[in-house]
Structure formats: C-alpha cells, structure tokens
Amino acid sequence: MKRRDFLKILGVGGVGTGLGYFFGKASKPPAAELIPYLNPPVDVIPGVANWYPSLCTQCSAGCGIHVRVMEGRAKKIEGNPLHPINKGKLCARGQASLQALYNPDRIKKPLKRRGNRGKGDFEEITWEEGISILSKNLISLSEKGEADQLYLLTSQIRGSLNNLLNSFMVSYGSPNYLQYELFQNKNLLHASQVTMGVNAIPHYDIANTKYLLSFGADFSSTWVSPVSYSYAYGQMRQGEDGIRGKLVQIEPRLSLTGANADEWVPAKPGTEGVLALAIAYAIVEDGYYKGPDAASWKALLSGYSPKDAAVVTEVAEGRIREIAKEFGQTRPSLAIGGENLARYENGMSGLVAVNILNHLAGNIGVRGGVIPNSNGSRTIDFKNNIAALAEAASASKVKTLLVYDTNPVFTTPKAMKTEESLRNIPFIASFSSFMDETTAMADLILPAHTSLEDWGDDFADPSVGYPVATLMQPAVSPFFNTMGIGDIILSLAKGVGGKVKDKMQWNGFSDYLKDAWKENYSKDKDMLASALTFDEFWNQLLTRGGWWPDEKAKVKAVSVSPKGIEAHISKVSSRFEGDEKGFPLYLTTYAHSSHLDGRGANLPWLQEMPDPMTSVVWGNWIEVNPTTASSLGIKEGETVTVESPFGKINAHVYLYPGIRPDTVSMPIGQGHRAYGRYAKDTGSNPIEILPFKEDPETREIALNSTRVRISRTTASEKMVKIEGSTKELGRNIVQTISPEEFKRMNKEVS
Amino acid sequence: MAGFLERITERLNIYREPGWYKKFDHKWTMVIDLDKCNGCGACVLACYAENNIPVVGKEDCDKSRAFSWLRIERYVEGEYPDVKVKFIPVMCQHCGKAPCETGCPVYATYHNQDGLNVQVYNRCVGTFTCATYCPYDVRRFNWRTYKFEQPLDNQLNPDVTVREMGVMEKCTFCIQRIRVAKDKAKDEGREVQDGEIQPACVQSCPTGAMTFGDLQDPSSKVAKLAKSPRRYRLLEELNTDPSVIYLKRVMNDGAGTHEE
Amino acid sequence: MGQEHMKSEISYREVNEDVVRTMTKTGPAYYIALISSMLVFAGFWLLPWSYQIYQGQGVTGLQTPAFWGIYLANFVFWIGISHSGTLLSAILFITQTPWRRSIYRSAEAMTFFSVLTAAIFVFVHMGRPWNFYWTMPYPNQRQLWLNFQSPLMFDVLAISAYMTSSVIFLYIGSIPDLAAVRDRVTGWRKEVYTVLALGWRGTDTEWHWLNKAYTFFAVFIIPLAVSVHSIVSWDFALSKVPGLNKTIFAPYFVVGAIYSGTAGIVTLMIILRKALNIEKYITLNHFSQLGKLLVVMSLLWSYINVLEVFTGWYANTSFENEALTYRMFTPPYSYMFWIMILCNSFMPLLLIFKKARTSIFVALIVSLAINVGMWLERYLIIATSLPRKFLPYMWHDYSPSWIEISTTIGSFGFFTMLFLLFVKLWPSVSIYEVKEDIGIPMKKGHH
C-alpha cells in the first residue's frame, strides 16, 4: 500500500470513528443517561404507592381526599374514609381534578403581557421579575396614597389562606378583599342568619329524614355538598332501619335529583317561594303545627292560602294540602331550598320561606331535620361584591386588581359589563393556573400551584353538625415552575416592604399554616388532649387529613320567630325580565353536573362524561319540552338562537319531557372562549344573556331572571349524545317494585 | 381418542358445573342497589382514572366510540308531567355462561377461577366476535392508537396496561386491585377480608349503591344483599348467569310489580 | 348463437382448437380488462387496506355496538358465490346432468376464487391482522391452543378445508385438459403445461382412476360445501343477538349461497361465451336449465324468508320486533329490504316462462338482480341486527365509511383479475366432458 493511501485511510477512519461516537451519543434518548430507579429517592418505593390526605377544591363542599402517589406522580384521587363530610366517597369532579395538575394548558411559569390586553401575547419571565413588577406597582400605589384602590378578588376561600390574604390587605391599607364565585350560597347563608340566627349553612340531615321536600335542590350533583348529601340520600332510601324516606322535588325543570324523586311538582318558575308559604299556611291551618305563636304565624301567612297559591303556582290546591299533610305529619321531615329557588331575583325570600316550613314542622335542631352548624363568627359584607367592583372599575376607582381562582368575565352576565370595566383597570395581575377569560386580560400572571401541590386548610361550610377542619398538603412536588399562593403573597409582602413586610414575617405559607394551627391547638382542649406536643398533633393532622372531634356535640333545638320575618318574604312571585309576548319562555339555568360554574370545562374527562340527564358530551344544549318544540317546528339536535332582551346565543335543542312547556333550561359551564384546548368553543354560555339583577338583600346575582324566545337557525356543529334510545320497550331492564310492596316485603323479612 | 376428547371437553366447560367455585376461595360479585343509585356518574369517572381509559374526543363520541367501561344507562318514560326516569349502571357482567368466551377464536377472553371474565390484551387479534356476542354491549375496542396528551400521561396507573390499537377491552372488576389484595393476604397468611377489595367505581360511589365482595363468603355484605327479595339480574332470561346483581328500585312507575 | 343443443356437428378437433384458442389468442380487449381489474384491485383494495392497517379499524364506520359491518357482509357474500362450483360440478355430476359439462370448469374456478376473496376479507376485518396466524393451530412454547368452541374457529378450519378441496377438485378434473393443451401449444406454455399435466397419457387405467378420484371428491365436497356455509352462518346464529339468533340460519345461508352462486354462474357465462367466442358450447339450453334452477332456488329462498319474518313476528318479543321493524320499515334499510325482495323473489319468477329463460338479455338482468339482492340480504342481516341489540341505550346506526365501500369494489376487481388470469392460463371449458356431451362423431368429418 502506498503511504498516501495509508494516511488517507487512517484519516477517514479516525474522523469516521469520532463522528460515529458523537452521533451515537447524540442520538441516544436522554433516558439512556438516567440513573434507573434501582436507586430511588428516599421516600419512594417503586411500585408501592404513597397516600397523602388532602383537600378537594373542585367545589366549596370541602371533601377530604386521599391522593395516590407512585414514584412522585399523582395517580388517583379517592375519598378520605375518615373524613366526616364525604366518608371515603368522591364525586366525578373530585376524581377529575387530577387532570388539572397534569393539564397541557397549564401556565408553566410567570408571564408578562407583551402585546395588547386580551390578545393573548405573553412573554415568559422569572419569578424574581414577576414579584418585583407587582411589588413595584403596589409600592407606587401606596406612595400615591391610593392604597384603597387595590382590589383583591378571589373565590370563596376559607381557612388560613383567607386569614393570610386578609392580613395582607389590611396591613397594606386596602379594605377591598372580595370573594366572588357563581355558587357562593350567599342567599342560603343569609336565610339561615335571618331565621335561625346562625351565620353558617346548617347541616341538612338527609340521612335520617323520612320526608324530604326539596325546592329545586339538586343535591345529587351540584348543590352545596353533593357527596355528603348523596351518601345521606343512600342512607335515607335504604338505610339500616328499613324505613324508606320519601323525596318530593318541586322545580320547573326536572333535575338529576328530581329524576330520583318519588314525586315531581312542576311549579311555575319563580313561584316556589309562594308555594312554600302556601304549604306553611296549610300546615298551620290544618293543625299540624304544634309550636308557639300559632296565631301570629297564621296572620303572617294569611296572604298565601292554598287556593290563591294554586292559581299562581299552577299546582293544584289538593296537592298543596296533601304535601302539607305529609310534610307536617311525618316525623322527622326536612325541607331544603336549592339553587333553583335561591337564584330568582328574590331568592333569599324563597329560602326564608323554606326555613319557615322547617320550623312549622318542628324540624329545626332535630335529628333528621335541620341541624344548625356552629361556625358562627363569619360575617359577609354583602355590599362588597362583584358588581361593586365592576362599578368602581368603571369609575376608574380601581388601580390594581389581583385575581385568584375566580373567573368573573365568564361567570357574570354581559349586562354587568365586567369585561369593559376590567379594561378600565390599569394593572391586573392573576394568580391562576390556567388562561381563562379573566386571566387572558391580565398584565402579569404569577401562576399558583394547583391544589395537589400546595398547603392549605379549610373549615367546611356546611359542616355536619360539628366543626370539621381539613388539611391540604402537597402530594407531589411542583410539576411546573409555579409557587403556592400563600408563598406568592408572602414574597409579595417582602417585596412591598414597610408595614406589610413587618406584619408578614413568615418564610413560607407552610410556616404560616403551622403557626395558625399552633394557635388553634393551644386554644382547644380536645386538640390538646389528643397529642402531647404540637409536632405530634401536626403529624396527626397530616396523617388523618384534618381535625374533627370524636365526640359529637348534642343537637340543640332552635326556633324561628315570626317577628321580623315579614320583611324578608316578598309578596309577589319573582319577576322575569322580558315581556310575555315577545319572549314567551322562562329561562332557568343550572350548574352543569360536570363543569359546575365552568371550572371543570378544561378537564377532558369531564368533557367526555355524558351528562346524567341528557348524555350530551363535549357541548352544550337547551332543554325544550317536546310539545313546545313541535309547536315551534323544532326537532332534536337542531340549532336555535336563544334570545333574551339582553343578548343572544346559539344552542342545540334537546327534547326534554321533564320540563314545563313554558320553560326552557340551559346548563352553565360550557361556552368558554379561552381556558385551554378542551374548553374552548364547546357550546355557549347562558350567563351572557342574563340581566344584571341581584337579590335586594344579599346582592347575589340572579340566574333565573329572564324570559327568552327561541328560533331556528343554521346549524354550526353537531350535538353529540351518547345515548341511543331511552325507551325501555318492556325489556325489564330497570326493574322496580312499588313502595307498598316494598313495605310489605320489609315486614315479611323482619 | 375418547379420553383425549373427554379431557378437552372437561377443560372447556369445567367452570360451568355447579360447585366449581367452591373449590376456590372466591366468586367475585357486585351488588348494585338501584334505589340508592342517583345516576351522578362518579363511578364512571373513577373507572376512567383507574384504568387508563383514553379520552376519544367529540368526533369519536359522535361515532359511538366512547370508551367508558362502565356507563349509566338512563331510560325515560312518560310525558310531562308524569315523567319517569330510571338509571342503571352497566358494566361487564362477568357472566358465568358468557357468550363472549365461546366466541373468541384465540382464547383472548376466558373465565378465571375467581369467577371473573378475563380479557388478555396481548392475545386479542381483534375479530370483534366477543363484542358482537355480548348482550350487554360492554366491550370497547381500540379503534386507533389513542394519544394521552402530555403531560396527562403522568397520571397513568402503572398497575394497568395501556392497550394497543386493535385490542378489545372491558371492565375487569379492577383485577389489579384484586390481585394486590390477594397477594397481600397471602403474604400475611390470612384470608381476604370483606371490604378489602373495592373496585374504583365501588369506592367512589357517593350514595353507596355499589357493593363488591365474595359471594362464597357467607359473612360478606354481598352475600347478604344477594339474598334480598329485591334482587334481579340484567336480561336474566338470556341465561348468561351474570355476576352482577341488581336490587330493584322502589318506584311507582305505574306498571305494577315486575315479577321474576 | 341461437342453438338449443350442441349439435353433434361439432367435431372433436374443433373442441380442442376452440379451447386452446381461448388460451393462446389474446386481443387488446383482454389486456385492457386485465389491467383495469388489477388497478381496481390495487387502488380500491390494497391501498386503502394498507391505510387501514396503519391507522387502525377506526377508519371504518364500525362502532359500538355495530362491530361487524360491510366486511363481514362481503365475506359471507363471497362464500355464498363460492357454492356455484360445488353445485354445478359435484351435485350435477352425481345426478349425471348432461348440460353441466361445458360450464362446470369455470364454475369450479369461480368457487376457488371467491373463497380466496372471502378469506382475504377475514383479514381485512381483523383489528390486529399481523397476528392472524394465532387463529391457526400451531405448536408453540406457551402451549396455547385455539378455542374450538368458537364458530370463527370452525370458520377457519372449514374454509381452509373447502379451499384446499376445491383446488384439488379443480385440478384433478383438469388434468386431461391440461394434457390436451400441452399437446397443442409451444414455447413456455408447453413447459408449464407439461409440468401441470403430470404426465397424463390418456390410458385406460388413468381414466379409470381419474373417474374414481373425481367421483370421490364430488361426493366429498358436497357436505363440505353445505357445512362451510352453515358454519359461516353460525358465526351469527350462535350469538344471542336478536335478528341473528335463529336456527333457520344454516339452511337459509346454504340456500342463499346456492342461489347466488348459480346466478353468478349465469352472469359469468354470459360474459364468457361472448368474450371467448364459445357460444356453441354454452348454448341457450344451458341458460334455460340454469333458469329453472334459479326459479326453484328463488322459491326456496322466499319460503325461508317468509319463515324468518313470520317466526320473528310470532315470537312477539321486543327484541325481535325492533330488529324486524328496523329492517323492514326504517329508511334507508326499508328501501334495501324491498329492493331485495323484488330482486330475489319476484324477478326470477320471470324465468318460469320459456321465452324468458332462453333470452340472454333476461338471464343477464335477472342474474345481476339476484346478486344485488343477495348482497343486500347479507348486508341487511348484519347492519340491521347489531344496531338494535338488547339494551336500547346502546342503539346506534351503522353506515359504512369510504374505505369499506372501496374495499367492496376492490374485491370485485380482485375476483375479476383472478378469473381473467384463469381464462388465459387454464382451459376454461372442459374439453373431454364436452366431447362426451357431443357424442361419438357419426359422420366422418373434418378429422
């Protein structure tokens, strides 16, 4: 071989080997470099799960959960069997909250607005930058003497986080800490206050009652504390004592709970309060009331005789008297007022009427009836609500707005002009994990942890007759570059400096939480009795998932006085906007069982879960009575325009026999314009076309407050249903026995 | 030759003889009380989370390819205002005389000794015979490779396989939980306790309508409930011998009592 | 062209020459037909099928609960057509019917090719077709055997048995003809046919054993054919699905198979005799006799159909009633149903009249109509039973996607391609049997 050739071969060979080596290295997947889980971290055993008790935040019920974590990833959420509210059970929304943690649309790090507001153009920044921007804004505001023009808007947060936020705002010098959620139960709370003198939602002991009169309360899916009530419902129906409780549902639209009821009373929309008072009248008149002041009650209710009420409510007089008889005579009985009743423009008065019913039947403070909760010292400033914020913003009295865990742009009617008023605010910062409609208008986004990554606690409201505190602890380390909300506020306090910094000296929210609980521990004798040291107590809290007493307090009877009630009951049934001629149908809206107020729409499991009453997935619909639809020439699945005096939207028609012919109904929760790939452009949002009407006392926004008209329009997309046919065709699929036969059967067995 | 044939027929039908399950420790049964079930759907979601069931999206749902192994069927009778709505959760009934088991040519579905109808994912070639034969329509097929959008795949349960395209699947009574409980009991040298195994749906059901356990254990809840005078099984006249027992709902549906 | 019987004026030499000519003389029309059928096969079947293997069964219109659709309908249809050969070759051989002689070879080939087409449909409808070999009993390390209780298992065994037997049947019967061709061609053809003819010399012993073998196979293949289609019908009848779970299915499908097979033969023969210029071998008499057969089959088919509907109505269960109503009175299936009745029950009755029976045009129309009707019947059985199963909540209508329709068209292309190849590579008219039919030449003619 010639020398030249030899050198050529050597050169090429060497270069080739080198290149090959580097290519090989580069093309190897990164995983090939990882240390295999033969040496796992200390707290991880591969293949064996860790379970962390925590708190579910998908609605305000405050159920306790167990999170199954394997190798540092959250795999499944179950109910906490020890927790008194949900007793180890969990609803669909709680199960789906896992997908909020690992959602592809999560905001992964702090963002700063780059383009115009609302255009969605953001750039990523670091946490130091973000906190410093916000701190500078707050400092400048304070220096200009406009500290009271800082507004903090959150969802209904209870517990230590609430206290922290309060301290922050107070020490900063702003009184403007508002809480706003669509389903805040303000009416229910105030009705309890007014009638029973207790500032907490009472515990409705559905498990032990034998006659449940529900005024539109959909407690099987969305009302107040659905898991707790569903569990109780199961006990009521087929409990240990073998006596089956009866459920009567009064509502213009058959809800999921109504579908399980023994009787459905389709009262005219807006008149259920009148119906309640008529039943109360019949109870007193026919002598079922055994308490004091019978004469004053009769006088108070004189305007609501069943005869007159029958005309107004379109429920037969005989039926009213029958219900009164059963309700008054069955011991114990229970009347509950749900969202449908609470969200008329005079919703609170309807709830007061329901409380009157309970009092007259002797249900308050009785097992199987209404058990007042004792979390007494809460006060709600009704004047300081979202409408006030919108007003102030329009008047340029809001310089900086901080938003956390709430989406007012979606959950307020267009008539309230929330979006326009937000545009008036010079600086908006959001702590949301998702780019929802409100966050899309922010100038600075500091994403907070989801509830599975964060610390916190909650004092359940309603509780179950005794105080229940739940602890939230991180089940997994933060998945993205986010911070806990408490930690953000504390960093902000440090950044703002001055008085605020002095008042809020904690290093992190977990320290704040621990200190708060140290105080609780030192003041409560039961807690002191349960553990020798605070550290032991704290560990107990973390293992158990919260604190609840073993000894349940005795139930005390509470009575309702007729004095002063009159002011709270309005004489007329609630008004609906829109004249009857132009807008012939009443519109009722309700919380979607999967999406609630819209918060679940970005979770694909919830989008794919068929709605219990219509089986529609990935979309929205309007429920129309089949006779109404045929008279308008509308077939199922067709798109209609739903028009109120305040706006119009499109929706697909679902022929629903369980609704009055003069009423149509739409679920709330779909119709997002932002909020991620799963939520975007699925259906329409009925809140948009509602009027801006509030309850006169509590200023809670009325959801059943307008009439609409529907007309056919060109179809945009298809309505997707899972169901084939809903006729049983005599195939004995769901077999039944009558209540009489059941009673007989029980007698034979026992 | 005769002996060989005998052995084969014996093997094929052995689990259909009465008393077979007594030789083993368990016959898993589920009891669903329709009077308690309120149709909320928590069980459906729990099943999705536990068993790595993919989300198929709007288009595929429209083509009736939704994946839920457990579904709540809803039947509506009557017109306004006498509307009767009935709910029934339906999942694989784990039939004792399952039509699907005889249909599968490659033995990808068979009856195991605990009374469960077991689906072997890697054996399935996708002839759809089992799905056609099933009277309850509980089988679901992987029509294409379903993507778990990142980072949602972090949530996947490592105890359950993610099925390949072309494979049939269905409710397994959370066999992964049954295995874990049986192994644990074996390690600790004891029997499986009643209530120790709860499939995801049973565990999540808020009303407590669902109960799961061993029918052969006389002290178990399901054994007691299975003796209820309200008991019936779905489509019992087809003689599939399902392992899911329903308790009749108490309701005035105007049709009188449905006698067995 | 207008002959009633094959006159004995045809000499043996003419027979030999005509048949060999069909194999050696090809015009451009043939090539155009062959290439287009190959293109149809590749473009309408192979390409979409590869797409389906890649993407999964999701590209079809199948869904819960209609897991079987057009693919299975095609499968049953093609198996049905396959009974043509058996009927003509075997049954009519045993009954010693004379007019079968000139057409049975093509009919046997039709059998084989349609069984092949049907077999491919089995793979098309599988979810994981690359694992198809698991449906065959082969020894493996895991000691896994098949589920012999499964009707699909019976299918695999029966169809492979039928395919093998019909191929052997076809081959054995062709040996003398292959020898005849061998002696009259040159070039590559001579080499090929020398091998294929297995050294046939035409001795008495050879003829004797040929007859014995042929008779054996004829007798053997008849119950095989009946069992194959019964087994295919049991794919459906062994389920519990209302509309499928009927004991009449086995005879129903066998009758339907013979029916559609015979109609297929009629169609094919009409085309063949024109294309290959062998009108004097396939005469109007043949069509007349086939027409009589079609009338008989049509009446049988109508009877069984009436039985099916009647028993369904008489049972009066919600399950049967819904399936029947869906099939008979719900558009679009109602249109298909009544067209099917027209095509299968009423139009063939035209063939009662001798004038109609001996008209090629009528024969073509009626036979095509019958095949359309039989395909609709198969499709209706599947597509109207599965969407209406036991639990009404799961009812969903089925409509095929473009891939499924394209595959159906492609299967016809495949069959045509195979048959065209057959016509050129194999004697499509049985030389020695035609000679038997003609009889010993009475005259000293054209040597």
Instruction: Show which subunits contact B, needing at least 3 CB pairs below 8 angstroms.
Output: A, C
Q: What's the pLDDT at A616?
A: 94
d(CA A16, CA A10): 10
Q: Which of B61, B80, B88 sits opposite A618 (nearest CB)?
A: B61
Percent share of chain A, pLDDT over 70: 96
Read off the pLDDT of each residue in A430-455 and give the average, rounded to a whole number: 93
Q: What's the pLDDT at C90?
A: 86
Q: What's the pLDDT at B256?
A: 42
Q: Which amino acid is at C362?
A: V
**B161–chain A nearest CA distance, Å:** 14
pLDDT at C6 over 80: no
d(CA C60, CA C229): 26
Confidence of residue B22 (pLDDT cuts 50, 70, 90): low
Structure-token pair, residue C154: 């019976």
Helices (H), strands (E): how many in chain A? 25, 28
User: Under 8 Å CB-to-CB from C3, ≥6 apart: which residues?
Assistant: C279, C280, C283, C284, C285
Read off the pLDDT of each residue in B232-253 and give the average, rounded to a whole number: 92
Confidence of residue A503 (pLDDT cuts 50, 70, 90): confident
Confidence of residue C447 (pLDDT cuts 50, 70, 90): very low
The chain A residue lying nearest B234, using CA atoms, is A733
User: Under 8 Å CB-to-CB from C66, ≥6 apart: which residues?
Assistant: C383, C386, C387, C396, C397, C398
Length of chain C: 447
Average pLDDT of chain A, as a whole number: 89
Find chain B residues with C-beta within 8 A of C134's C-beta. 106, 123, 125
pLDDT at A714 over 90: no
Read off the pLDDT of each residue in A617-641 and give the average, rounded to a whole number: 93
Distance of CA C398 to the CA centre of its chain: 26
Least confident piece of the model among A15-19, A714-718, B114-118, C288-292:
A714-718
Distance of CA C380 to the CA centre of its chain: 19
Structure-token pair, residue B126: 């996708």
Q: H-helix or E-strand containing A707?
A: strand A706-712
B259 touches chain A (CB under 8 A): no
Q: What's the pLDDT at A515?
A: 93
Q: What's the pLDDT at C86?
A: 79
Interface of A with B in 604-643 (CB under 8 A): 604-610, 612-613, 615, 617-619, 625-627
Structure-token pair, residue A88: 């180890």
Q: What's the pLDDT at C26?
A: 82
Q: What's the pLDDT at A28?
A: 65
Relative to beta strand A263-265, strand A246-250 is: parallel
pLDDT at A194 over 50: yes
Per DSSP, the three-state class of A29 is coil
Domains of chain C, with CATH numbers? Answer: 2-137+150-438 (1.20.1630.10)
pLDDT at B255 over 60: no
Per DSSP, the three-state class of C138 is coil
Q: Shortest CA distance to A527 belongs to which of A546, A545, A549?
A: A549
How far separated are the first and last CA of chain B, in Å rounded?
45
**C100–chain B nearest CA distance, Å:** 39
User: Under 8 Å CB-to-CB from A550, ≥6 apart: which residues?
Assistant: A526
Note whether C109 and C426 are within 8 A (CB).
yes
Q: What's the pLDDT at C379?
A: 94
Least confident piece of the model among A560-574, A707-721, C271-285:
A560-574
A723 and C393 within 8 Å at the Cβ level: the answer is yes
Q: Which amino acid is at C90?
A: A
Average pLDDT of chain B, as a whole number: 89
Confidence of residue C199 (pLDDT cuts 50, 70, 90): confident
Residues A119-169: tens digit of each pLDDT: 888 999 999 999 999 999 999 998 998 888 999 999 988 889 999 999 999
**B192–chain A nearest CA distance, Å:** 19
Percent share of chain C, pLDDT over 90: 47
Find chain B residues with C-beta within 8 A of C149's C-beta. 12, 102
pTM of the prediction?
0.90
Note whether A178 and A405 are within 8 A (CB).
no
Structure-token pair, residue C131: 């694992």
Q: H-helix or E-strand containing C376?
A: helix C360-385
Confidence of residue C428 (pLDDT cuts 50, 70, 90): confident
d(CA B152, CA B164): 18
pLDDT at A11 over 60: yes
Note whether B26 and B175 are within 8 A (CB).
no
Q: What's the pLDDT at C2?
A: 39
Note whether B53 and B211 are within 8 A (CB).
no
Read off the pLDDT of each residue in A443-472 and give the average, rounded to a whole number: 91
A729 and C390 within 8 Å at the Cβ level: the answer is no
| SS3 assignment for chain B | CHHHHHHHHHHHHHHHCCCCHHHCCCCEEEEEECCCCCCCCHHHHHHHHHCCCCCCCHHHHHCCCCCCCCEEEEEEECCCCCCEEEEEEECCCCCCCCHHHHHCCCCCEEECCCCCEEECHHHCCCCCHHHHHCCCCCCEECCCCCCCCCCHHHHCCCCCCCCCCCCEECCCCCHHHHHHHHHHHHHCCCCCCCCCCCCHHHHHCCCCCEEEEECCCCCCHHHHHCCCCCEECCCHHHCCCCCEEEECEECCCCCCCCCC
Domains of chain B, with CATH numbers? Answer: 27-247 (3.30.70.20)
Length of chain B: 260
Q: What's the pLDDT at B259?
A: 38
Q: What's the pLDDT at A249?
A: 95
The chain A residue lying nearest B209, using CA atoms, is A234
Greatest distance between any 2 Cα atoms in chain A: 126
A745 and B230 within 8 Å at the Cβ level: the answer is yes
Residues A58-115: tens digit of each pLDDT: 988 999 999 999 988 999 999 999 999 999 999 999 999 999 999 999 999 999 999 8
**C418–chain A nearest CA distance, Å:** 43
pLDDT at B33 over 90: yes
A723 touches chain C (CB under 8 A): yes
Structure-token pair, residue A175: 């009184």
Provide the strand spans (E) within A168-245.
177-179, 203-204, 211-215
d(CA B76, CA A613): 10
B58 and A726 within 8 Å at the Cβ level: the answer is no
Confidence of residue C3 (pLDDT cuts 50, 70, 90): very low
Residues A324-381: tens digit of each pLDDT: 999 999 989 999 999 988 898 888 888 999 999 999 998 888 888 998 887 555 667 7
Backbone angles phi, psi at A127, to 5 degrees: -65, -40
Instruction: Show which subunits contact A, needing at least 3 CB pairs below 8 angstroms.
Output: B, C
Read off the pLDDT of each residue in C391-419 and give the average, rounded to a whole number: 93
Q: Which of B83, B156, B204 sits opposite A90 (nearest CB)?
A: B204
Per DSSP, the three-state class of A265 is strand
d(CA A157, CA A552): 26
Q: Which residue has the tokens 């269905």?
A: B170
